[in-house]
Each structure stands twice: as structure tokens, then as C-alpha cells.
Amino acid sequence: MAEGGSRLIPAAHQAPLPLDRLLVPVGAPGAGDRMDLDVVVVGAGPAGLSLAIELARLSKQAGRELAIGVLEKAGALGEHCLSGAVVNPRAFRDLFTEDETALPFRSPVTRESVYLLTAGRALRLPRPPSMRNRGNVIASVCEIVRWLGAKAENLGVNIFTGYPAQSLLVRDNTVAGVRTTPAGLDRDGKPGSGYTASTDLVARVTALAEGSRGMLARAWLEWQRIGSTNPQIYALGVKELWETKRPLDRIVHTLGWPLSRDTFGGSFMYPLEPNLVALGLVVGLDYPDAGLDIQVLFQRMKLHPLFREYLEGGEMLEWGAKTIPEGGYYSVPARRSGSGVVLLGDAAGFVDVPSLKGIHYAMQSGVFAARAIFQALGRDAADAERLAEYDRLVNSSFIMHDLHRTRNMRLAFKRGFVMGGVQAGLMTLTGGRVPGNRITVEADAAVPRAAKPSGESFMPDGKLTFSKVDAVFKSGNATRDTIPQHVVVGNAVDQRVARFYSHVCPAGVYEVDGSGLRVNAPNCVDCKATDVLGPTWLPREGGSGPKYKRM
Amino acid sequence: MKVAVCIKRVPDTETRVKVTSDGKTLDESGVKFVINPYDEFAVEEALRRREQAGAGEVVILSLGPQAAQETIRTALAMGADRGVLLQADRIPFDGMTVARALAAELATGGYDLILFGKLAIDDYNQQAPVIVAELLGLPCVTAVTRLDIHGRNGVAEREVEGGVEVVEFPLPAVLSVDKGLNEPRYPALKGIMAAKKKPLEVKPVSFAVADVEVLSLTPPPERKQGRIVGEGPEAVAKLVQLLREEAKVL
Amino acid sequence: MSGVLAVLEQRDGGLRKVSFEVTSAARRIADVRTAPVEALLLASGAVSEADQVGRFGADRVVTLTHTAFARYAPEAAARVIAECVKSEAHDVVILPASAMGKDLAPRVAAKLGVPLVADVTDLAVENGAVVAVRPVYAGKALLKVKVTRKPAVLSLRPNVFTPLEQRRKAEVRTAAIELPEGAGRVVVRELKAAAAGAIDVAEAPVVISGGRGLKEPANFKLLEDLARAFGGRAAVGASRAVVDAGWRPHADQVGQTGKTVSPPLYIAVGISGAIQHLAGMRTSKVIVAINKDKDAPIFKVADYGIVGDLFEILPRMTEEIKKIYG
């Protein structure tokens, strides 16, 4: 793709997905051991664990034990999970009979405020209908996941933490399982002391619940040539958890500053406890300014009086980052099931941007998948036809109904803040009917960017604002320094592109060094932002990356 | 070769230390608990000794709350055979009391080796292995960084200031091990599955009043505000003088 | 003579510095109750400087000799010390928490059937009982405890107590002893000295670490020169950035994913002070920072700092340090 003038097109520098590595024939050499299961789930997040729980229940009820394994790349449950979060509890109420007080929620939403920020002020806005959170609860997705994990283990599900999946095992057009990453490789990729080879998990059904920008999900879709009406687009969220001196009594959302009109996004601030506050900034990755640095923007944002009054004198406990799929209805793949495989949750794009909700869709998708899988395995046929029942269940459920209603909401903002606002308003009033036809978008990496003249460089104060290196420390990341580099840099990455990457990555993985790119791979917190706009992310040995506790 | 390994469930090294309102204990909210890192080397060593001998048993023993069962399962997933949890909600600070509880359980085991990690990263007491050995009348070598066993004789190395001590001892013995003795193995997937089915006995224990009373747990004093002594090489003489006379480190 | 027993440490016939710290601490306790301080040393022969211990507050210095004590003899040493405590009815015993002491102190306590309070950084007497402070949770908190049993057995963290000169007329005694039960089952056969100059970063009393500010790997020579000027007491450490760049080995890395050090003196040269580095040296007794950026975060943790060009400052420092250590 030719580059125009001084505009940078990220896609021109990206390497393609290495399908030859991501799709491996069953029985191919390279694994040290093999395990056979009925169902393998990739990702112990809300979607994967809900599937495991429902499936274990169904099989127990029917007296047909199923061997279910859930692979999780983090060293312990929840450590790679990050969200706001204000959760719609309906999926919990459907899955569990526990009393509300026994569910992993912090508190119900009582008050909420929305503000339009300028550099110095906060203008209270009337709450948009899509943001009514009465009946919803504030929670930490890490706590939800640990709670679900305990339920799953009690039902006999095997949860394997510290085991990332690096390839799909395939046989003809069928997915037959996954292969895990090896551990103990040294910087050159050679086995060091403590080397552990990959393991093949061969299963009748593989459920891909890898979360946002799931690598194997994308590989499968590309391989099977399954498209979506629009390409998937993403936002990057950076978040901190603070212990504050001043209590917060409401959930807060903001628009406007520090984002300019051509950049989509906003911030959130939620009290897990009155003095335990989660706050973050979410920005669409289609921004036009090549020098935009979301982590720096977030740090600056905290100096705004609205946030500062809560954070002053407090302590930052944790920091983290993660991408969110924002394409909505039109970016969901045409089908999310196939021979031997299903796609769940964020990996399938089940996120509603206007209401900022994804956790209950993820859980519900896991439940639907479990039911379809159970039926299919009962008939001893995990083929595409049988597993298509999963798609039918999702399509006729509130998941797709909700996404359809807000199908153009985020996309409208691609035409700018004001136009977007008007269209969003119309959509809400008409329940999605106006404007009704699809708004086409391009992939984030195809959006050209130009470097605006940069303002003064940002000096963190170490009290309210932090450098990328310090932020990574607070993510709990203590990845082995000698780990091999896991990101694949594409082509023609000159100083200009290197600088762009250094701004995209909130964790300081990329730096401009002399005339080229310097990669500090151990810093990576697996957010996938640069996977969307730059070097390809591949999994590394289990337990690497962040260790979120209450994010 | 029959080996017992004593392990401890401890707060992760990255734990932010907050004290509860009683002023004496760690606030556990938001704290992640792990197997004491030094104990992993002990578990690994036990597994290697059993493998080398061709036959035997590796038993994991822990003194801790109910949740320590999970910690024992981690060791079982690495390959140990069975576990015993001496269950108590609060572990006393007193190393003698802890050692007595462990020794009572270990006494009848007929172990060739009883292994510990060198120290626990919460209390840094570094006593349990030695006191257990004394109570059981067994020889003990601490902080082992290298180990060779031939029949009923062992040779261990341990780091001391400026060098390495080479120590000989007979079996059966109690050893505490240091980082670098080996490279602990990753629990294999099959190991994680098998661990769930391995026997894990839970025995409640209680303690007599401790002889060491905790008065307080406090954050360390704030470092006094430092100062820039000067600029450039001219400031060096002043710095050196301060280090000598004020800080007294030269 | 019931009082406070200070257990000293010698190696190859020379008294180790920590012995003076232990004696001073014993003196502090003894003074509260006007009790005497007995210093006890186990060796294979006369130990140089044993008579100096009176300078630090000992009333009596006893050296017990046996060939077995040419090296550390864990079981015999514990037995002899415990017997000494019992026969003299000492009610407080203080040992150094050195490598030897960490092994010996719990043995002594176990033989006496009492608890050990280990790695103490402060001690006092309150209402007749010994109260000690010790770091826990990797130095992130201090635990204060009271010992209610007698004798109270404690081990002292080295390099924390400043030996206090307090001239005393100490009675000095040396006696050869028998070991009827033998030297013990655990035998220290040999002490392999570390290679000359290869003092480990985690052991050195002085650590001088370099970061990216040094610009090139060859410039670490400036730190090595300074380390040499300290006469064998100093080790050269490195920040993660320079280890990642391949300038220094990982064994020298100080920080969250490297080594944690707590020396009496830590000098950070050309290091900005990211939290993951601070995590590895924050509990050092005295921190000195040299950096050309006056806003570098390292200056917030340093006790003393010099802002300026390290290429000019380091050679001057080396000169000044040479004058002191000769």
C-alpha cells in the first residue's frame, strides 16, 4: 500500500498472521506430550469459565462425565483479566442460584454522573439512555474470574494456569485441539535449563475464549475464510486502581478532554469501595495523530480537577492495559462455530460499546456454547452442523439483539464527534432504526496517520502520574528478563514507524534507539494494542506478563 | 528414598504491606498467596532424589490454614506423592512452636531426608529446619546450594561470606535449601490433573501460648529526606566527608 | 556470672567485625539491668584481637579452644555454648546473624528449649523483658516482639549496630576444652574461598551500580576503578537496561527481576530510578545518587546526591576513596 506524503499507514509495516505456525496438523512433531480431552477451552476468562461450568453441570446431570480442560496463559486465574467494570448481573442470575450477596460483586450502582471535560472544567451532562446502570453492579473482573474458577474446579473442571496455547491442531477442516507454548527458552529461542516442551491437547471440541484480539480465533477465521460485514476495530483502555483519601460515591463517565474531536473515547471512574477507586481512559485505535500516546494522555488526565480531588494523597495500587473490540454487530464474524470449534466472548466481538458492557455477553455465550457442545457430543458429532446450534442460540438471544440495536453507535463517531453525537442521539431515540443502514469502516491499521507537532514532553511526578516503566512495575509484571522476544516486527520499520510504535504501546515495549527500533519484550502486558497497529503478538511462556489482582 | 518436604503458604513478594486495625497482623485483602519460593527448590530436590533412587516417596507437609491445601496441590502437581496439612488458622510467630508441630508429624515417618526452603519470605525466621532437626535428634545442614548423596552419606555446599563451605553429614538428615540448588520443574498438565486425586490429609492442630509475643507490625520509618550535596566534581570532597562523618559508612 | 552472653565469630584465627557489633548490643542490654557482659569465642587457638573486645563493653572475654573449632563445627559449638549459658545462668544470649550465626543461633535456642528472635535490627529492655525489632516481608515492615522466656536468644543483623567504644577492663581468659561427645555428625570439611575480586553484589558492603547514563559498556571501567578503590569491599552492579543491552551479566543486575541488595552503602551512577530498580536496593542503609538530570526519580530516594557529569565525578570520587582505604 503506497504511503501518501508524510502519512504513516500502519498496515504497510505489519507482518501477516503466521498461519503456518498457528495451524499445525494433529500428530505433527514438536510436542513433548499429548493429552486427550473431550473439550479444551482456551482462556479462563468469564466466557471460558462459564462454558466449563455449564458443560460440567450438564454432563453431571446426565451422568456422562466429560473431560474438560481450560488453558490459561497467566500464572494464576485473573492475572491477565482487566475491565472497568460495571456488570449486568443477568448472566450470573441465569447460571447460579446463589443469593446476590454470595456473588462476586462489590456493590450495586447507586449514583452515576456523566461529564464533558475541558482542560480545566467538568460540565455535567444528562445521562444518555444507553448508560443507565441502575440494576447493574460494580465488580472487578479478576475477582469474578477467581470466583468462577473455584466453581469450575469444584465441578471437576481442570484449570491449567501457566499454559498459553500457541497453535490450533487441525485435521482437514476440523479443529482437533491446541498445542501449548514451550517454557524455559533462552533469549535466542533455544532450550535453556528448565526447558519444558509443548504439550498437545487433543479434544473433540475446542472453545476459543482468548479475549480481545484472540490470536487463534483470528487464525481460524482467516483459515476458514469467514469474514464479517465490517472488519473488527479496537480501542485501548489503560486503567489504574487507587486507594484514595477521599471517598467516591458514584460511577463517573467522561467525554471530551483530553481527547480531541477526531479521537473516539472517554474515561471511567468506579468505586469498588468508597476508597478503592478504579479509573481509566479508553481510546479508539483509529486516531489520526501518529504521536498520540494513550498512556501519557491518561496520566495527564488524572491532573484534571475532577480526578485530582479524589486521587491526591492516595496511592496507586495497580496499573494495566487491554484492548476492547469496538466494531459491534457488523464486526461479529458471520459464524462463530465450525467443525470442532466455537468462538466466545470478546474473541467473537460480543461487546456493546455504548453501554460499555461485555462480561455478561461473554458469560452467556459460554453458556450457549456449552449447551450446543453437550448436545453435539451426545450425538457423537462435533461437526460444524451440530455446533451451529451455538450460533443459533446466540443470534436469537439478547446478545445479538442488544448489539443490533446499537450497531451504528460507535461507527457514527468515525465521522467526528459532533456528527457522531447527533447520530448517536438519533439512534437511541429510534431504538437503532435511524440511521439504519450499515456504516462501513476500515480496519484500524489501514487508517493513515500524521504526526502533529508534539507539545512539551511529559514529566511524570511519581505521585499522581507515572512513567511507562513504573506503570509496568505496578501491573505486577516480573517477566523473566532472558525470555525470547515474542513479538514479530514487520517490514520497513524506520525511525518514524518506531516512534509511532513507542507511542502506541502503553508499556514501553518499543523505543526509538539510534536510528531503529528497540524492543523491550519483557515489559509487555499482553494488551494487544500494537498487535492491532504494529508488530504481531505471539504468546510466550506461561506466567509471563502482568499479574492483575483486582483490575 | 523417602523424603518429606515442609512447605509454607506465604504472601507473594510483590505484596503491598498493610496492617490490620489490631496493629499486629498483615491485612490480607488483595494479597496473593503462593508457595514460598525457596520451598520450590526443596520440592524439586526431593523429586530428583526419588527419581535418582528409582523408588521412594515424596511427602509434602505444611502448617497452615485450609487454603494451604491449594499450596500443597501445587507441590503434588510437580510430582510429589501425597500431602499432609496441619491445619491452623493462625501460625504463631514463634519458631519453636512451629517446629514442635512439624516434628511431631515427621517423627514417625522414617524419612531419609527432610527438606525445607532456607527461609520463608514472610517472617524470615530461618529456624524451623534446625529446631525440627534438634527435636528429632537428626543432623542438619542449612542453606544448601549443592548436594551430593552417596548411600548413607551426603556432601553439601553452603555459601558463607567470601566463600563456600563444604560439609559432610550422614543420613537421615534435615536440610534447608537455597536458591540455585536446582531448577524447579514446571508442573506438567498431566501432573496438574493427577494432583487432584493424590491423598491430602488435613489434621487440625492447636498451639500452647507462645513464648514470643508480637507487639506491633509497622511500616519501616520513612527514609529521611535526602539532599543534593552539590554539582559536578567539586561536590565530591563534601560528599565523601558527609559519608564519613555524618552517615558513618566509610 | 549471670548476665548477657555475646557469642563472637572468628575465621582462621581472626576476629570478624560483627563480633564488635554483637558485644556492643550485649552491652546495651546489660546496662539496663546492670548485668555483666561475657563474650564467648570458640577457636582452635588464640584469636588476634580477642583482647580488643573489652573496648566494646565486654567484662569478660573467654576463648575456648579445641582443634575441632578450626572450622565451624555446628553441633559441638551449639552444645558448648548452650552449656555455657546454663552453667552461668545467662539470661540473654546474642549471636551474629552472619552465615554461620544463622545456622548456629537456632541450634543454641533449640538446645536451650527456647525460641530464637532472629535477624534483629534493634533491641531494648522494656519492663524487664527483651524487646526486639526485626524486618519482615522483605523489609517492607518491621515486627516488634517481646520475649517472655529466659534465656532470651537473639541473632543480630550484621552492619546495623554501630560498635560503640566503651572502655572496660575486661578479664581475658583462654581455656582448652574437651569434647566428650565428639565434634558432631555435621563436619565442615573445607572452606573454598571465592575467586579474588569476585565479591557478589548481594554480599558486598558497598555496591556501585551503573545504568544507561554510562553510555557504553567500556565506561563501566570507571565503576570498576571506584570499586577497587574501596579495597575489596565493593561490587559493581547494573540496572536492567544495561543488562538487557548485553553490557553486564544478569548476575550483576539489581532490581525486581534481578538481585535484591541491602548494603550499608549503595551508589547509583547514571541510573534514573525506575521503581523496578528501587525495589532491589531500597532498603540499603545509605544511598548515593550521581546523575546529570536533577529531576531523576533516584534523587527522591537517595540520602545524598550529586548532579553533574558522571565522567568527571567518578574519577574524583575514586581519588578521594583511595585516600581513605589506601
**pLDDT for position B67:** 95
- Helices A398-405 and A384-395 cross at an angle (nearest 10°) of 60
Identify the H or E element spanning A396: none
Domain membership of residue B215 (yes or no) is: no
Chains that touch C (3 or more CB pairs under 8 A): A, B
Instruction: Work out the minimum CA distance from C325 to partner chain B, whole angstroms.
Output: 9
- The cell numbers describing B173, all together, are 538428615
The CATH number of the domain holding residue A169 is: 3.50.50.60
Taking contacts as CB-CB distances below 8 angstroms, the residues of chain A near B47 are none
CB contact under 8 A, B183 and A549: no
Return the CATH fold of C206-325: Rossmann fold (3.40.50)
Q: Is the pLDDT of residue B135 over 70?
A: yes
For residue A476, the chain B residues in CB contact (below 8 A) are: 14
Range of the domain at A368: 1-551
Q: Hey, what long-range contacts does A221-224 have (CB within 8 A, 24 or more apart)?
A: A221/A333, A221/A343, A222/A17, A222/A19, A223/A19, A223/A23, A223/A170, A224/A173, A224/A338
Which of A477, A549, A551 to probe by mutation at the B interface, max B CB count within 10 Å?
A549
Location of C-alpha cell 502437581: B77
How many angstroms separate the Cα of A305 from the Cα of each of A120, A308, A464, A488? 7, 5, 12, 41
Task: Give me A171's grid cell.
Answer: 485435521
- What are the grid coordinates assigned to B37, written together? 519460593
> What's the whole-number average pLDDT of chain C?
92
Phi-psi region of B79 (alpha: psi -120 to 50; beta: other; left: phi over 0): left
Q: Quote the minimal CA–CA distance from B197 to chain C in Å.
A: 34
The residues in B 130-149 lying below 8 A from C, measured between CB atoms, are 130-131, 133-135, 139-143
Going by C-alpha positions, the residue among B28, B213, B224 that lies closest to residue C143 is: B213
Q: Which residue has the cell 509496568?
A: A472
The Cα–Cα gap between C315 and C293 comes to 19
Which residue of A473, A479, A513, A544 is the best one to mutate when testing the C interface, meaning the one whose CB has the most C CBs within 10 A? A473
Q: Helix, strand, or coil here: C58?
A: coil
- Give the tens place of pLDDT for each residue, C223-260: 999 999 998 889 999 999 999 888 999 889 999 888 88
- Enclosing domain of residue B91: 2-204
Distances (CA, A) of C218 to C222, C224, C248, C250, C270: 9, 11, 10, 17, 14
What value does the mean pLDDT take over residues C282-302?
93
Asked if A473 lies within 8 A of C275 by C-beta distance, the reply is: yes
| C-alpha span between A455 and A470 (Å, rounded) | 22
What SS3 class is residue C68? helix
All three cell numbers of A232, joined, read 473488527
Q: Which of B76, B186, B193 to mutate to test the interface with A (most CBs of A within 10 A)?
A: B186
Q: Which residue has the cell 456504516?
A: A439
* B contacts of C308 (beta carbons < 8 Å): 231-233, 235
Phi/psi at C228 (nearest 5 deg)? Answer: -65, -35
DSSP states of B154-186: EEEEEEETTEEEEEEEESSEEEEE-TTS--PPP
A196: nearest CA in chain B? B186
Chain C nearest-CA distance from B136, in A, is 11
Closest partner residue to C257 (CB to CB) among A467, A469, A480 is A480
Question: Does any domain span residue B193?
Answer: yes
Closest by CA to C185, choosing from C99, C83, C85, C68, is C68
Radius of gyration of chain A from its Cα atoms, rounded to whole angstroms: 22
> What size, in residues, is chain C?
326
User: Do residues A465 and A300 make contact, with C-beta atoms less than 8 angstroms apart?
Assistant: yes
**Under 8 Å between Cβ of C76 and C188:** no
Chain C: residue nearest B161 by CA?
C99
b/e code A364-397 from CB counts within 10 Å (16+ = b)? bbbbbbbbbbbebbeeeebebebbbbbbebbeee
Contact yes or no for C257 and A467 at CB 8 A: no
Contact A160 B190 (CB under 8 A): no
Q: What is the pLDDT of residue A530?
A: 97
| pTM score | 0.92
Q: Above 60 in pLDDT, residue C17?
A: yes
CB atoms within 10 A of CB B99: 28
Please, which chains are in contact with B (at least 3 CB pairs closer than 8 A)? A, C
Q: CB distance A462–C300 less than 8 Å? A: yes
Number of structural domains in chain B: 1
Residue A10, preceding bond cis, omega within 30 degrees? no
Q: Per the CB < 8 Å rule, is C257 touching A481?
A: yes
Chains in contact with A, counting 3 or more C-beta pairs less than 8 Å apart as contact: B, C
**DSSP state at residue B139:** -
- Delimit the domains of chain C by residue range: 4-176, 206-325
CA distance between the termini of chain B: 52
* CB atoms A467 and C274 under 8 Å: yes
Q: Which residues contact A159 (CB under 8 A, 6 or more apart)?
A: A44, A52, A69, A70, A72, A77, A149, A152, A153
* pLDDT at position A528: 98
| Cβ A322 vs Cβ A237: under 8 Å | yes
Does residue C319 register a pLDDT over 90? yes
ipTM of the complex: 0.93
Secondary structure element (H or E) that encloses residue C128, with its range: none
Residue to test with chain B: of C16, C112, C136, most B Cβ within 10 A: C136
Each residue of B82-133: pLDDT tens digit? 999 999 998 888 889 999 999 999 999 999 999 999 999 999 999 999 999 9
Segment B173-183 mean pLDDT:
94
Measure B168 CA to nearest chain C CA, in Å: 5
Contacting residues of C for B243, CB less than 8 Å apart: 265, 286, 288, 304
Q: Please list, in sequence order, all residues whose beta carbon lies within 8 angstroms of the beta carbon of residue C248, skipping any fewer than 6 positions away.
A: C210, C217, C220, C236, C238, C242
Q: Which residues of A touch C (CB under 8 A)?
A: 459, 462, 467, 469-470, 472-474, 478-482, 520, 522
Residues of chain B numbered 78-107 and touching chain C (CB < 8 Å): 93-97, 99
Strand-pairing partners, residue A282, are: A237, A266
Instruction: Spell out the residues 6+ positions from residue C55 whose beta carbon is closer than 8 angstroms to its own.
Output: C20, C165, C166, C167, C168
Question: Is a pLDDT exceeding 70 seen at residue B52?
Answer: yes
At A507 the three-state DSSP class reads: coil
Structural contact between residues A305 and A120, judged by C-beta atoms closer than 8 angstroms? yes
Q: How far apart are CA A550 and CA B89, in angstroms?
A: 24
Helix H or strand E segment including A446 = none
Mean pLDDT over each residue of chain B, to the nearest integer = 94
User: Which pLDDT does position A3 carry in this prediction?
Assistant: 46
B8 assigned to some structural domain:
yes
Q: Which residue of C has its CA nearest to A460?
A: C297
Q: Which residues of B touch A160 (CB under 8 A)?
A: 189, 192
Q: CA of C286 to nearest chain A CA: how many angstroms apart? A: 21
Residue B86 lies in a domain: yes
Which pLDDT value is given to residue A130?
66
Interval A97-108: pLDDT, tens: 888 889 999 999
Query: A163: distance to nearest CA of chain B, Å?
Result: 8
Task: Report the CATH number at residue B180.
Answer: 3.40.50.620
C202 touches chain B (CB under 8 A): no
Residue B214 lies in a domain: no
pLDDT band at C1 (very low <50, low <70, confident <90, very high): low
Beta carbons of A63 and A36 less than 8 angstroms apart: no
Q: Kindly determine whether residue A481 and residue C274, on different chains, have CB atoms separated by under 8 Å.
A: no
List, run by run, the mean pLDDT of 10-residue segments along chain A (551 residues).
68 95 96 96 98 97 95 97 94 86 92 93 83 88 97 96 97 96 90 90 97 98 96 96 96 93 92 96 94 96 97 96 95 96 98 90 97 91 86 96 86 60 63 63 93 81 94 94 92 92 97 89 97 97 95 96
Q: Does C66 touch chain A (CB under 8 A)?
A: no
B191: chain A residues, CB-CB within 8 Å: none
B146 in contact with chain A, both atoms CB, cutoff 8 A = no
Q: Is residue B231 part of a domain?
A: no
Helix orientation angle between A359-378 and A398-405, rounded to the nearest 10 degrees: 140
Contact C265 B250 (CB under 8 A): yes
Residue C38: DSSP 8-state = E
Average pLDDT over residues B226-248: 93
Interchain contact C117–B (C-beta under 8 A)? yes
Q: Structurally, how many domains does chain A consist of?
A: 1
In the predicted structure, residue C168 carries a pLDDT above the cut 80:
no
As a whole number of angstroms, the distance between CA A530 and CA A10 comes to: 10
Indicate yes or no: CB of B169 within 8 angstroms of CB of C187: yes
Q: Tell me whether strands A112-117 and A183-185 are parallel, antiparallel or unpaired.
A: unpaired
Residue of B nearest to C121 (CA): B220
Q: Calculate the alpha carbon distances from A121 to A111, A116, A305, B21 in Å.
A: 21, 8, 7, 39
Neighbour count for residue C116 (Cβ, 10 Å): 29
Q: What are phi and psi of C149, to 5 degrees?
A: -100, 155
A chain contacts of residue B190, beta-carbon cutoff 8 Å: 33, 35
Architecture of domain C4-176: 3-Layer(aba) Sandwich (3.40)
Determine the average pLDDT of the residues in B224-243: 93
C-alpha cell of residue A242: 487507587
Look at strands A276-284 and A234-243 and give their pairing: antiparallel
